[in-house]
Amino acid sequence: MKQYMTERFSVKKFDSTRKLPEEQISELIECFRLSPSSLNLQAWKLVVVSDENMKNKLADAGIGDNGPKIKDCSHLFVLVRKKLSLAHFQKVIESTEMLQLKMKKQNMNIMKMKAFFFFYSLLMGQKNWAVRQVYLALGVLLASCAKMGIGSLPMEGIRCRKMDKIVGLSGEYRTVVALALGFPHEREATNPSRLKKSRFSREEVILII
């Protein structure tokens, strides 16, 4: 895995003439679905955009030079948080075997477990907690892209509310971050074959106790 991460880089210019195979996109979608989240919360949605007209519309939500990257990429993944609610907590509890076993072991009913989720979410800061879960999934996707040899660029430089409107998200969903995917252009200036990977030393960023 070290080699894949050494070779990965953030693509600054995509080849607009090439499309990623659907089997690779399908595998990435499954990687997102299988991503870890606190208490198996899964308070998210992945919007997969490949339609050229939709990408052109979404490009207007890109800040700075992110607009052209959205237009030229093969696919744009929009990672979205879901508003936390008692109904969502119940769905998580009813579909998670680990929580079912915990309830049985501690003789808890579902109302008590939902109350636990609710108060724990308040403690963690509901909105920020949900956003952090989305970033866990983003990390999984970036690592998966590196392993699969897919060019990628995570984007925080986007107008999230504008993206919400363009893709038609309901009130309980809000865009957090985007991920552009595709083939690097042959003139890609940040290609690792031209630029050496720049990272701080192990001694500066690692503490082993």
CATH code for the domain of 62: 3.40.109.10
pLDDT category at 154 given cuts 50, 70, 90 is very high
Q: Dump pLDDT digits (tens) for 69-100.
A: 999 999 999 999 999 999 999 999 999 999 88
Give pLDDT, residue 199. 86
- Give percent above pLDDT 70 in the chain: 99
Exposed/middle/buried for 96, CB within 10 Å: 0-12, 13-18, 19+? middle
pLDDT category at 193 given cuts 50, 70, 90 is low
- The average pLDDT across 179-195 equals 82
Range of the domain at 117: 2-205
Give pLDDT, residue 176. 97
* Site of tokens 């060019």: 151
Rg of the chain on CA atoms, in Å: 19
- Give percent above pLDDT 90 in the chain: 77
Q: How many domains does the chain have?
A: 1
